[in-house]
Amino acid sequence: MFQELTVDLRLPPGARWQLSQVQRQQARELFSLYKADLSLSPNAGEFLVSSVREFVRDEYWQEMESLSRQVGLSASDVALCNFY
């Protein structure tokens, strides 16, 4: 069962996501499923994300970086799954 999640878009990008421990684990599982579904080589994600970084507004990148810190994944993994 998933817990309800509210993301307050009025907050600064780096403070929008406030996940509980359970939600962090669920997010890691979801990211793992996304990455498996993409079936990319380990370096392909880094390459793809670096190729599009300049097209992503800084506010969105800050949000993904904040989320990546909370779930313990790289910002590029979070961005890749977000793009997916």
Q: What is the pLDDT of residues 2-25, one digit of tens each?
A: 678 888 999 999 999 899 999 999
Give the single-character DSSP code of 57. -
76: confidence class by pLDDT, cuts 50, 70, 90:
confident
Instruction: Tell me how far apart the alpha carbons of residues 48 and 79 are, in angstroms, rounded to a whole number.
Output: 10
Query: Per residue in 43-54, is it b (16+ CB within 10 Å) or e — as a string?
Result: eebeebbeeeee
This prediction's pTM: 0.81
Dihedral angle over CA of 59, 23, 82, 47, nearest 10: 90
Q: What is the pLDDT of residues 20-49, one digit of tens each?
A: 999 999 999 999 999 889 888 777 878 888
